[in-house]
């Protein structure tokens, strides 16, 4: 009996130890080119495991991921685990030449990281060239065993991954053109839901995503916008949503009949099947904030109730979609979200600020190469900048920025002089500055901003309209941040600080800075390393709408960047 008691105690301790450390979850990703048929056309695209979207990673909070990536494609590749903090795993973050050199064709790399302090929906995607067009997938983080959602458990959880599709665009050739002549990405030919275009694209072979539901049951839709370019509206006919999380952070429940979601963002919503038995279209169309040509098509899936009659299955109801340029609706959705203060993993917004930055972001022009032909206005090359600095990825330096930072040898890779504010203050949203050739050119360089460990940083993102107003989804790697306020026009501290929400602000890793407006964020720099900050409209990244933070080590090994793994790809 005594031996049994000792064994029982040992078993309980072992179980407790296993519970504390989480599980080790392994995946194998093979990146390869594949011939696929969509929109009645065969084309070659780059995929993971032959799938679009790629595999969905499904873990619990506190689990450790081991992802074996083999590059069987002819392209350089890196993968980014969008929104994961990467504490003590900084080398696994993934942006090409920022935290690692690319995985060359025929080579492999193992990404290893533990997910702690996060629950909800994130995602993963390529962070090389424009390969994110088809190399992406969901990353679902459930509560650890014994923990509960801060809302009633749904009957079923359903990933809804929004994507774009091009009939014939070669993303690698397009990226090369962007590098040389500042070209743009062609307008997509279709949008997709879970890789399926739906029934509005005149191709009878295309599939449509179908969600079968039971009357009275509640479904958790995990929505990801994986688009290269377009922000999206998402609706289900005759149904409302309750938003319960954004970017893997719980929100105060918010009831709406439309979700607005920018590239890089995720939104978790509860959908209650509370309508008469029948079938209802789910639909997604673009929110186009800029006065530019864009994909104005609609992708559709279908929600079908169990027990619906044949007639009700074949004649679904269609939601009324918002106008493409409905900025008031988009702003209402984004601005009304608040964080679930006191909920799982909630940390109060820091009240004291150590570092204040005012960062302008927008599009610019650059001079066309001699004897070249460029795609920008007046024969110039399209460009972009933050604080009049157009970021250049150090692809020819022989090192990533993180490697150079770790060895404290930045020479020839980057400089530590990214400015806290633009060189000049003026009316950033006035139509009078459009194509102002005295201000529109931004010098190219690789500048970072160095932050002291554990300092609190506040950033005002201010849109600049040199080439017209546009909503820019700004993504910060390695952190969540608090969204204190957002608005239109030029930010005015005296006027706008009084509207800051520091009690229950929404937490994000990607903020859609309002078109012709501004947003204020705050975060604590308690994660050492090099962390990319960039617009998640992918064409804006090679144009230069990016910078990086170099966060210094803390006082202990646990608060310092660990040595690089032995299999880290070489430049």
Tell me: the pLDDT tens digits for 390-418? 999 999 999 999 999 999 999 999 999 99
Give the tokens for residue 502: 């520091």
With CA atoms as reference, report the closest residue to 467 among 375, 401, 332, 571: 375
Query: How far apart are alpha carbons 464 and 106 in whole angstroms?
Result: 43
Mean pLDDT of 353-359: 98
Mean pLDDT of 281-294: 90
Spatial neighbors of 10 by CB under 8 A, at least 6 apart, are none
Mean pLDDT of 277-286: 97
Query: Dihedral of CA 425/431/437/442: which sign?
Result: positive
Mean pLDDT of 504-530: 98
Q: Does residue 303 contact residue 318 with C-beta atoms inside 8 Å?
A: no
* Structure confidence at residue 291 (pLDDT): 72
Give the tokens for residue 413: 């890779």
Query: How far apart are alpha carbons 58 and 60 in whole angstroms?
Result: 7
**Taking 70 as the threshold, does the pLDDT of residue 12 lie above it?**
no
Residue range 19-36, pLDDT digits in tens? 457 999 999 999 999 999
Question: Rounded to two decimals, what is the model's pTM?
Answer: 0.95
| Confidence class for position 486, pLDDT limits 50, 70, 90 | very high
The number of angstroms, rounded, from the C-alpha of 372 to the middle of its chain's C-alpha atoms is 34
Give the tokens for residue 42: 């065969």
Give the tokens for residue 386: 């933050």
Query: How far apart are alpha carbons 189 and 165 in whole angstroms?
Result: 6
* Structure confidence at residue 176 (pLDDT): 83
Who wins on pLDDT, 8 or 299? 299
Who wins on pLDDT, 311 or 8? 311
CA angle 332, 120, 61 (to 5 degrees): 155
Mean pLDDT of 341-354: 97
Residue range 109-162, pLDDT digits in tens? 999 999 999 999 999 999 999 999 999 999 999 999 999 999 999 999 999 999
Query: How far apart are alpha carbons 383 and 542 in whole angstroms?
Result: 8
Mean pLDDT of 258-263: 98
Q: Does residue 7 contact residue 47 with C-beta atoms inside 8 Å?
A: no
Cα–Cα separations (whole angstroms), residue 308 to 215, 220, 257, 275, 300: 10, 21, 23, 11, 19
Most distant CA pair in the chain, distance: 90
Residue range 206-230, pLDDT digits in tens? 999 999 999 999 999 999 999 999 9
| Confidence class for position 514, pLDDT limits 50, 70, 90 | very high
| Confidence class for position 290, pLDDT limits 50, 70, 90 | confident
């Amino acid at each position: 009996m005594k031996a049994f008691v000792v064994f029982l105690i040992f078993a309980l301790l072992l179980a407790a130890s296993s519970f504390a450390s989480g599980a080790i979850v392994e995946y194998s990703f093979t990146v390869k080119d594949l011939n696929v048929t969509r929109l009645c056309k065969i084309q070659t695209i780059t995929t993971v495991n032959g799938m679009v979207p790629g595999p969905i990673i499904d873990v619990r909070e506190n689990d450790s991921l081991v992802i074996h990536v083999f590059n069987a494609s002819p392209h350089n590749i890196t993968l980014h685990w969008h929104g994961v903090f990467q504490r003590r795993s900084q080398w696994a973050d993934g942006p090409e030449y920022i935290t690692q050199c690319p995985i060359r064709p025929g080579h492999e790399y193992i990404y290893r990281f533990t997910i702690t302090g996060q629950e909800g929906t994130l995602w993963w995607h390529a962070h090389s060239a424009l390969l994110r067009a088809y190399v992406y997938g969901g990353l679902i983080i459930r509560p650890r065993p014994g923990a509960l959602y801060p809302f009633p458990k749904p009957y079923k959880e359903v990933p809804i991954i929004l994507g774009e599709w091009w009939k014939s665009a070669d993303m690698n050739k397009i990226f090369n053109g962007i590098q040389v002549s500042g070209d743009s990405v062609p307008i997509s030919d279709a949008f997709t839901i879970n890789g399926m275009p739906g029934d509005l694209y005149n191709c009878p072979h295309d599939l449509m995503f179908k969600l079968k539901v039971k009357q009275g049951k509640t479904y958790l839709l995990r929505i990801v916008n994986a688009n290269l370019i377009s922000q999206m509206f998402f609706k289900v006919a005759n149904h409302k949503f309750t938003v319960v999380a954004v970017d893997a952070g719980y929100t105060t429940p918010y009831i709406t009949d439309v979700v607005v979601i920018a590239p890089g963002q995720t939104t978790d919503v509860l959908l209650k099947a509370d309508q008469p038995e029948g079938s209802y279209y789910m639909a997604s169309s673009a929110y186009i904030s800029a006065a530019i040509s864009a994909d104005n098509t609609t992708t559709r899936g279908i929600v079908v109730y169990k027990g619906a009659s044949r007639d009700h299955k074949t004649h679904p109801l269609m939601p009324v979609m918002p106008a493409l340029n409905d900025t008031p609706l988009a702003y209402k959705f984004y601005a009304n979200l608040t964080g679930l203060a006191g909920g799982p993993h909630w940390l109060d917004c820091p009240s004291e600020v150590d570092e204040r930055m005012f960062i302008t972001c927008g599009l610019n022009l650059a001079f066309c190469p001699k004897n070249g032909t460029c795609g920008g206005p007046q024969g110039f090359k399209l460009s972009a900048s933050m604080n009049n600095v157009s970021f250049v990825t150090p692809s020819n330096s022989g090192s990533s920025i993180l490697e150079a930072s770790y060895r404290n040898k930045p020479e020839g890779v980057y400089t530590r002089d990214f400015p806290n504010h633009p060189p000049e203050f003026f009316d950033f949203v006035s139509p009078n500055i459009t194509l102002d050739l005295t201000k529109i050119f931004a010098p190219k360089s690789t500048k970072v901003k160095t932050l002291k460990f554990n300092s609190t940083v506040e950033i005002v993102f201010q849109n600049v309209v040199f080439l017209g107003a546009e909503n820019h989804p700004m993504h910060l790697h390695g952190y969540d941040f608090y969204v204190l306020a957002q608005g239109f026009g030029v930010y005015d501290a005296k006027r706008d600080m009084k509207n800051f929400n520091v009690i229950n602000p929404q937490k994000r890793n990607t903020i859609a800075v309002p078109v012709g407006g501004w947003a204020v964020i705050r975060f604590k720099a308690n994660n050492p390393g090099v962390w990319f900050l960039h617009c998640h409209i992918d064409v804006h990244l090679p144009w230069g709408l990016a910078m990086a933070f170099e966060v210094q080590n803390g006082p202990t090994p646990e608060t310092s960047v660990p040595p690089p793994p032995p299999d880290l790809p070489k430049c």
